[in-house]
Amino acid sequence: LERDPHGNVQVSLIESEKLFSEMVKAELAKRKAAGTYKGKFGAQHHFFGYEGRCAFPSNFDADYCYSLGFNAFMLIQYGFTGYLSKVSNISKPAEEWVAGGMPITKMMNMERRNGEDKPVIRKALVELDGKPFKFFEANREKWAVETCFTYPGAIQYYGPSEVCDITTRTLALEKS
């Protein structure tokens, strides 16, 4: 594999599903040769990428994705093509969220690319005046030298809402 400009192996480009199946195939061939395995092996690959390495979704994640998906269906159902599904008010409980749509063209501006003007979606930059960045800024030096992290524990799907329906840390900071 090629390395990135910093000399690091590009782990995301490793086809781990094929790597693992080849390792299993090699191990089973050894066992077959030793007479300790008599079965057959055939792999069916499926790449999960980041999904395979991520944490379980929280109730917030599930509510948000379900809302975006259902809202996208409704936009299409009512003929709003070229729209982006959006859900606002997400720092509040899911029952208070507001679904809507935004024309993708509203997010675009013209940028010069390879000598031609092209419509592109504007980059969303970090809001340096926002509460999440201010929180980071206030803790940046400490975090650079100390082990500081928030670990709320395992994801809880059932139980008290204040445990199960915790929003993201960034949204909590924006709401505070």
Domain, as residue range, for 125: 55-175
In a domain, 2, yes or no: no
CA-wise closest residue to 87 among 70, 103, 104: 70
Q: Exposed/middle/buried for 71, CB within 10 Å: 0-12, 13-18, 19+?
A: buried
164 and 82 in a common domain: yes
Q: Compute the distance between CA of residue 130 and CA of residue 69 in angstroms, rounded to an integer.
A: 28
* Neighbour tally for 157: CB within 10 Å: 13
Q: Compute the distance between CA of residue 27 and CA of residue 14 in angstroms, rounded to an integer.
A: 20
pLDDT at residue 156 in the model? 81
Ranges of residues in the chain with a pLDDT under 50 are none
In a domain, 6, yes or no: no
pLDDT at residue 54 in the model? 75
63 and 146 in a common domain: yes
61 and 47 in a common domain: no
140 and 113 in a common domain: yes
In a domain, 168, yes or no: yes
CA-wise closest residue to 56 among 156, 141, 176: 156
pLDDT at residue 50 in the model? 72
pLDDT at residue 37 in the model? 95
The pTM (predicted TM-score) of the whole model is 0.63
143 and 59 in a common domain: yes
CA–chain centroid gap for 34, Å, is 44
pLDDT at residue 99 in the model? 97
